[in-house]
Amino acid sequence: MDRPERVRHFTKVSDLSVEEIRKILKRAFKLKERPHADRSLTGRTVALIFSKPSTRTRVSFSVGVYQLGGMALYLSEQELQMRSSESLEDTARVLSRFVDAIVIRTFAQSDVDELAAHATVPVINALTDERHPCQALSDIFTFEERFPDSKGRTITYMGDGNNVAVSLAAAGALSGIDVCLGIPEEYDLAPALWEEIQGLAAAHGTRVWVERDPERAVETASAVYTDVWTSMGQERDQGKLQALQPYQVNRGLMSVAPWEAIVMHCLPAHRGEEITDEIMDGPQSVVFDQAENRVHVQKALLTFLLGGD
């Protein structure tokens, strides 16, 4: 595999074009069918820097890199010199001399952007307070697995206007899928992110809108998606939990959604808060497919970013 001429990063969904997303998802479908067929990362190393806990992202990247013939190097931020005694810029420069890609999960999106600005190898955002693009790319894959006629269908996201909501809306906008956000006003997306999403939707002829009424939000949904009400690094806030209660994905809410609607959750779930056991373990739920698909899609993403095609 030759290095591409231009370093490509994946710090946010819109770092990829519509055509590139199609190419990556198509490759992911092939990799899912034959997980060991591609060894294009033989001899390559991918650094995984994590400042927050992770089960799916960490394991799916580690396993994925291994299946592609490469080696993943897990680095917890506490054990690196990064930030405490070395700048992000110098860390980016040093790691770029050792490894072929850097996957990072941290708090501030600006840290990922800064790392990407100074790295000479691809930087992949594995979640920040603002975005979770790997999750969103993979979620589009899962949605299309269930609905090959995905164009013009709607994914309704219920709950907190968090990192997962932002990236899901962006990925929908770039994939011809409409996204309805069932979010109470206090927990809307930050204005700058909302504007960015609206810009993407307008540019790609898709719709992203907010519906405050939980039942109306799911009425036309092909997928009802939810995520935790308290994200990593946030304090549990009783007022927020109360305000989000009407947006819980439960039997009552799902009885209003179309019969064919699937239930999605990026996991980990706080069962009994944003989703009930009955729905999470029920026949409409695809949450564990979503978890599995992370590995297939991230393998496709890595081969794209590292191979440049």
Residue corresponding to tokens 């069932």: 182
Q: Is beta strand 71-76 parallel, antiparallel or unpaired with respect to 123-125?
A: unpaired
Q: Is residue 227 within the footprint of ligand NVA (CB under 6 A)? A: yes
| CB closest to ligand CP, residue no | 57
Footprint on residues 66-95 left by ligand CP (CB under 6 A): none
Query: Least distance in Å: CB of 160 to ligand NVA?
Result: 7
Interface residue with ligand CP, options 267, 271, 284, 292 (CB under 6 A): 267
Annotated active-site residue 266? The verdict is yes
Q: Assess 54 for contact with ligand CP (CB under 6 A).
A: yes
Closest to 123 measured CA to CA, from 107, 111, 131: 111
Question: Do the beta carbons of residue 295 and residue 255 sit within 8 Å?
Answer: no
Check 9, 44, 131, 132 and give the catalytic one: 132
CB of 266: closest distance to ligand CP in angstroms? Answer: 4
Q: Are 136 and 201 in contact (CB under 8 A)?
A: no
Q: Is residue 228 within the footprint of ligand NVA (CB under 6 A)?
A: yes
Cross-strand bridge partners of residue 225:
157, 264
State the first-to-last Cα distance of the chain, in angstroms, to the nearest integer. Answer: 10
Partner interacting with residue 125 (select from ligand CP, ligand NVA, none; CB below 5-8 Å by kind)? none
Interacting stretch for ligand CP, rule CB under 6 A, among 15-23, 50-58, 238-246, 297-305?
A: 50-58
Residue 45 and residue 307: Cα distance in Å, rounded? Answer: 14
Question: By the 8 A CB rule, do 48 and 61 touch?
Answer: yes
Q: Is 248 in the active site?
A: no
- Residue 63 interacts with ligand CP (CB under 6 A): yes or no: no
By CB under 6 A, the residues from 115 to 134 that bind ligand NVA are: 127
- CA 286 to CA 41: how far, in whole Å? 30
Alpha-carbon gap, residue 126 to 139, rounded angstroms = 14
Residues forming beta bridges with residue 265, ordered by sequence position:
226
Q: Is 162 in the site for ligand CP (CB under 6 A)?
A: no
- Can you give the three-state secondary structure of 76-93, one letter per residue? EHHHCCECCCECHHHHHH
227 contacts which partner out of ligand NVA, ligand CP, none, CB within 5 to 8 A by kind? ligand NVA
Which residue from 198, 220, 231, 250 is in contact with ligand NVA, where contact means CB under 6 A? 231
Among residues 44, 56, 294, 296, the one annotated as catalytic is 294
Footprint (CB under 6 A) of ligand NVA, residues 144-163: 162-163
Residues annotated as catalytic are 105, 132, 135, 227, 266, 294
